[in-house]
Amino acid sequence: MTEQTAADCLFCRLVRREIPAKVVFEDERLFAFEDVRPMAPVHFLLVPKAHFASLNEAPEGAGALLGEILLRAREIARAKGIGETGYRIVLNTAKDAGQTVFHIHFHVLGGRHLEWPPG
Q: Tell how strand 30-34 and strand 23-26 pair up.
A: antiparallel
105 is catalytic: yes
Rounded Cα–Cα distance for residues 111 and 42 (Å):
6
Annotated catalytic residue within 43, 51, 103, 105: 105
Residue pair 31/25 in contact (Cβ under 8 Å)? The answer is yes
Question: How distant, in Å, are the alpha carbons of 81, 108, 118 from that of 15?
Answer: 25, 18, 29
36 by DSSP, 3-state: which? Answer: coil
Residue pair 40/46 in contact (Cβ under 8 Å)? The answer is no
The C-alpha angle with vertex 7 and arms to 102 and 96, in degrees rounded to 5, equals 10
Question: Which of the residues are catalytic?
Answer: 105
